[in-house]
């Protein structure tokens, strides 16, 4: 296995803004709307003056280029990955402090549309969201965990100031992703509480003929490390009943039967057809 996980993160980006916006190294006038105008920029601070300054300088350069080209972004701030013998004494405060300082003096035109950070509990979320009401704070999902982990974290984070939830594994590893998202929406809109949403989700899985990965009792448990990215991917469940494809466009594949890699390749091929 590699050693990167034990070494501090350093700034690097493969994609260029022009490639994202028009599909080539330098966009000509009027071509910036061919692609997309929104992207994710991520940073990791490791409690090291030199490393963290380099991270901030790289983000500043990106931000200035993005503003000049009309490219919007949202900012992901990871927890430290390799602090060595100098970890922050108070991690939530360390993250909040770096976010506030990184964006101090940045005008609204160049600011991220929203943040994507690990959820460190009510106090940290309330402090960050309350410090600057113009800053939209979002949470990342982390590892899959239980269904209750996903719904409860969303409910609690919103209660203390979060306004965005960006779940990856929690959705990707769900038994039925569309139904899972439906109940995430219900929790976000305060239509259902976390426990009620878990019970309703299991009832829908039964109706759809899909075997749940966990029993209802186990899926109502809160697990430790629910926001961690560590851990292996669980096996995908087998659906015993399939839906109709009658409403799917003829040129669109059945995504429910595709692996994540096949979905990525399909989207890459699609953009190649669009951009040439």
193 domain residue, yes or no? no
Q: Within a 10 A sphere around the Cβ of 183, how many other Cβ atoms?
A: 24
89 domain residue, yes or no? yes
Number of structural domains (the chain) is: 1
The DSSP bridge partners found for residue 41 are 75
Exposed (0-12), middle (13-18) or buried (19+): which is 73, by Cβ within 10 Å? Answer: buried
156 domain residue, yes or no? no
19 domain residue, yes or no? no
pTM of the model: 0.77
User: Above 50 in pLDDT, residue 237?
Assistant: no
pLDDT band at 6 (very low <50, low <70, confident <90, very high): confident
CA atoms within 13 A of residue 186's CA, in its CB half-sphere = 18
Distance from C-alpha of 61 to C-alpha of 136, rounded to nearest angstrom: 22
127 domain residue, yes or no? yes
pLDDT in tens, 7-17: 999 999 998 99
CB 24 within 8 A of CB 17: no
85 domain residue, yes or no? yes
Domain containing 90: what range?
Answer: 33-140
Looking at residue 246, what is its pLDDT? 37
163 domain residue, yes or no? no
194 domain residue, yes or no? no
pLDDT band at 106 (very low <50, low <70, confident <90, very high): very high
Task: Please give the torsion angle defined by the CA atoms of residues 216, 220, 226 and 232, in that order, rounded to the nearest 10 degrees.
Answer: -10
CB 21 within 8 A of CB 69: yes
Whose tokens are 């003829």? That residue is 250
For the segment 120-143, the average pLDDT, to the nearest whole number, is 93
- Under DSSP, the state recorded for 250 is T
């Amino acid at each position: 296995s590699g050693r990167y996980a034990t070494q501090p993160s350093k700034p690097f980006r493969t994609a260029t803004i022009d490639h994202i916006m028009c599909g080539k190294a330098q966009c000509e006038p009027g071509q910036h709307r061919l692609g997309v105008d929104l992207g994710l920029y991520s940073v990791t601070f490791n409690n090291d003056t030199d490393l963290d300054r380099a991270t901030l300088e790289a983000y500043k350069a990106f931000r200035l280029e993005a503003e000049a080209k009309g490219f919007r972004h949202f900012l992901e701030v990871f927890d430290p990955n390799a602090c060595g013998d100098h970890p922050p004494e108070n991690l939530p405060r360390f993250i909040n402090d770096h976010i506030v300082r990184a964006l101090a003096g940045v005008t609204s035109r160049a600011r991220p549309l929203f943040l994507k950070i690990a959820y460190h509990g009510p106090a940290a979320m309330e402090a960050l969201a309350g410090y600057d009401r113009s800053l939209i704070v979002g949470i990342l999902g982390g590892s899959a965990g239980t269904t209750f982990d996903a719904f409860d974290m969303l409910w609690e984070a919103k209660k203390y100031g979060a306004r965005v939830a960006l779940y990856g594994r929690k959705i990707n590893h769900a038994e039925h992703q569309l139904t899972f998202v439906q109940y995430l929406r219900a929790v976000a809109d305060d239509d259902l509480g976390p426990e009620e949403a878990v019970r309703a989700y299991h009832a829908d899985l039964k109706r759809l003929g899909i075997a749940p990965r966990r029993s209802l009792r186990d899926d109502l448990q809160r697990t430790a490390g629910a926001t961690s990215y560590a851990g292996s991917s669980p096996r995908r469940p087998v659906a015993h009943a399939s839906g109709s494809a009658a409403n799917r466009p003829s040129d669109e594949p059945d995504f429910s039967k595709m692996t994540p890699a096949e979905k990525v390749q399909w989207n890459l091929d699609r953009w190649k057809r669009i951009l040439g």
